[in-house]
Amino acid sequence: MTEPDPEPQDDALAAAASPMLADEEEGLWEAGYDPAGSGLASQLLAASETGDLLTFSRLLIAQAAPGLDDSAMRVLLAQTLLRQDPTAERHVQAVEELLGAVPPPRPSPYRWPANAPIRARMMLGYMYRGLGRDEEALAAFRQCFHWRPDVAECAECLAFQHERMGDAAAAAAVRAEHAALMSQTIRRLPRWQPPEPAADPRSMYLDLLERTLCNVIYGDTSHSSYGDTVYDPARRETGRDLPTQAHSMIGLTRLRHLRWAMETVLAEGVPGHVIEAGVWRGGACILMAGVLAAHGAHDRQVFVADSFAGLPPPDPRYVKDLATLHDFHTRPELAIGSAEVAENFRQYGLLRDNVRFVEGWFSETLPPLRDQTFAILRLDGDLYSSTMDTLVALYDSVPPNGFVICDDFGVVLDARRAILDFRKERGITDNMFAIDGDGIYWRK
Ligand SMILES: C[S@@+](CC[C@H](N)C(=O)[O-])C[C@H]1O[C@@H](n2cnc3c(N)ncnc32)[C@H](O)[C@@H]1O
């Protein structure tokens, strides 16, 4: 325990008030004396001279908590001002300035960004609401909800604001979307049970094909954009890493599920070809081609649909696409050319006549396939637009008992929103099942 500071003595007070001492101190600053380094002392001095309490506090916070990023610091400072006096004119302006300068959430491949930007918009919303500036409150809450419709506070604030402004229908729509996103989260869905492994040669070939496609055999490292690069069998099982070499990123469980769906379709005689929209290195499609070959189902084709140039940027046709917190379109590691994918098929001896490459953006390449029948429609385009475009183009091409599989439902909110919006628009009530923590499927 440290000693308490001594009570100030009269002498010390007198000295502190002495202009002489202040001058001497200024001399020290001018001579370059800067105990904190990087000009901090002179910035503090400048702020103190102009009485700029805000700047002064920011500088001090930055010094005291260097781990705190700029956005978090702005949020804390704004919060302090609001708690002190939420209506004082100069505080309102300072809060607007502080929080208005917090940049939007930084997109990331899979991990959610820090929530300071969302917090900043929420606080602005609360402040505007308190001041009766309803339109601005609505805009702030709407932005939060677009970013995180799954967060209760974002949904409730926006819904309440709509009600306050007399729009009960809009409030109900917000609450309904939030409730759907939460009630249909993947952990609440019934879970698919994988079949027991069998020991006949065909089953063993397909087992080996699955294991090879996601390379649990040699266990390659993960790309650094997905966090830890070390090979982790548990992550590879559930497709939670981005393999540097394996031909599929969807993991062993979802590959096994795809094989089960293929074999179910063959066993039950569900008519049609099979398609994946979003193939990356082609692994899931290679598995589908392998299942067809192993079962001698030569009359069915595998449609391999991709831009072969990565994901598109957010699409202005969809407000929800623009709100994405992911930056997949900026990632070169997701852009694999068609020649490389074809070569991967060839390596497995599966580049056969029944494999059809469909190259280009889904919005352009999939509508012309509408007249085909697809016993399996596998969606793996991650984005709201990519998922919605695929469903709009091809859902009606899936026959009764056919499979609709979405790879990204659990972990990519955009894909989940598109699936739920489409099901709602079309009145689809077929039960959804969770494959693992990410993938879902339903049968028509
Ligand atoms: C997550 S990866 C697919 C992973 C793959 N299914 C596997 O087995 O590893 C997503 C792929 O979707 C493609 N994609 C996403 N949106 C697209 C769109 N709108 N049009 C064309 N391709 C798209 C990307 O080029 C990328 O190859």
Q: CA 328 to CA 107: how far, in whole Å?
A: 9
Tell me: pLDDT of 409 over 80.
Answer: yes
φ, ψ for residue 8, nearest 5 deg: -65, 135
Whether residue 112 contacts residue 125, with contact meaning beta carbons closer than 8 Å, is answered with no
| Mutational pocket test of ligand 1: of 226, 248, 280, the residue with most ligand atoms within 8 Å of the beta carbon | 280
Q: From ligand 1's centre to the CA of 280, what distance in Å?
A: 5
Contact 272, 373 (CB under 8 A): yes
CA 206 to CA 350: how far, in whole Å? 13
Give residue 359 CA to ligand 1 midpoint distance, Å.
11
pLDDT-based confidence at residue 326 (cuts at 50, 70, 90): confident
Question: Residue 209 Cα, ligand 1 centroid: separation in angstroms?
Answer: 21
How far is the centre of ligand 1, averaged over its atoms, from the C-alpha of 113 (Å)? Answer: 22
Q: Which pLDDT belongs to residue 66?
A: 62
pLDDT value of position 80 = 85
pLDDT category of residue 6 using cuts at 50, 70 and 90: very low
Nearest-atom index, ligand 1, CA of 390: 19
Separation of CA 444 from chain center: 28
Return contacts of 152-156, CB within 8 angstroms, 24+ apart. Answer: 152/178, 152/182, 153/122, 154/118, 154/122
The pLDDT of residue 414: 92
CA triplet 395, 396, 397: central angle to 5 degrees? 90
CA of 276 to the centre of ligand 1 (A): 9
The pLDDT of 137-157, averaged and rounded, is 94
Strand bridging mode 374-379 / 440-443: unpaired
pLDDT in tens, 372-381: 999 999 999 9
Spatial separation of the C-alpha atoms in residues 270 and 284, rounded to whole Å? 20
Q: Which two tokens stand for residue 207?
A: 């087992």
Cβ atoms of 123 and 95 closer than 8 Å: yes
Neighbours of 146 (CB within 10 A): 17
Which residue is associated with the tokens 């929209």? 277
Considering the four listed CATH numbers 3.40.190.10, 3.30.2390.10, 3.40.50.150, 3.10.450.40, the one that applies to the domain covering 198-443 is 3.40.50.150
Inform me whether the pLDDT recorded for 390 exceeds 70: yes
**Atom of ligand 1 at shortest range from CA of 407:** 6
User: What was the pLDDT predicted at 14?
Assistant: 36
Torsional sign, CA 99, 102, 107, 113: negative
- What average pLDDT score do residues 38-54 get? 74
Rounded Cα distance between 250 and 235, Å, is 10
Atom of ligand 1 nearest to the CA of 278: 12
Q: Which pLDDT does position 64 carry in this prediction?
A: 67
- By CB neighbour count within 10 A (0-12 exposed, 13-18 middle, 19+ buried), where does 331 fall? middle
Give me the percent of the chain exceeding a pLDDT of 70: 89
Q: Whose CA is nearest to atom 12 of ligand 1?
A: 278
CA of 71 to the centre of ligand 1 (A): 33
Nearest residue by C-alpha to atom 6 in ligand 1: 279
Residue ID of nearest Cα to ligand 1 atom 2: 280
Please state the atom number of ligand 1 nearest to the C-alpha of residue 336: 27
Return the CATH class of domain 68-183. mainly alpha
Identify the band that residue 135 occupies on the pLDDT scale cut at 50, 70 and 90: very high
Chain centroid to CA 242: 15
Residue whose Cα lies nearest atom 25 of ligand 1: it is 310
Q: Which of 253, 256, 307 for a ligand 1 pocket mutation test, highest count of atoms within 8 Å of Cβ?
A: 307
Domain extents in the chain: 68-183, 198-443
Residue 140 confidence (pLDDT): 97
Residue among 386, 408, 409, 438 to mutate when testing ligand 1 (max atoms within 8 A of CB): 386
The token pair at 273 is: 């070809």
For the CA of 248, the nearest atom of ligand 1: 9
Which of 324, 380, 389 gets mutated to test ligand 1 (max ligand atoms within 8 A of its CB)? 380
Atom number of ligand 1 nearest to Cα 284: 8
pLDDT of residue 415: 94
Task: Work out whether the CA dihedral 257, 260, 262, 264 comes out positive or negative.
Answer: negative
Average pLDDT score over residue span 83-93: 85
CA distances from 298 to 288, 290, 301, 341, 353 (A): 12, 11, 8, 21, 9
pLDDT (mean) for 152-156: 95
Q: How high is the pLDDT of residue 58?
A: 73
Residue nearest to atom 7 of ligand 1 (CA): 248
Which H or E run includes 55?
helix 53-64
Q: pLDDT band at 324, cuts 50/70/90? A: confident
Q: Which residue has the higher pLDDT, 153 or 69?
A: 153
Higher pLDDT, 38 or 220: 220
Q: Which residues line ligand 1 (CB under 6 A)?
A: 248-250, 276, 278-280, 283-284, 306-307, 310-312, 334, 336, 361-362, 380-383, 386
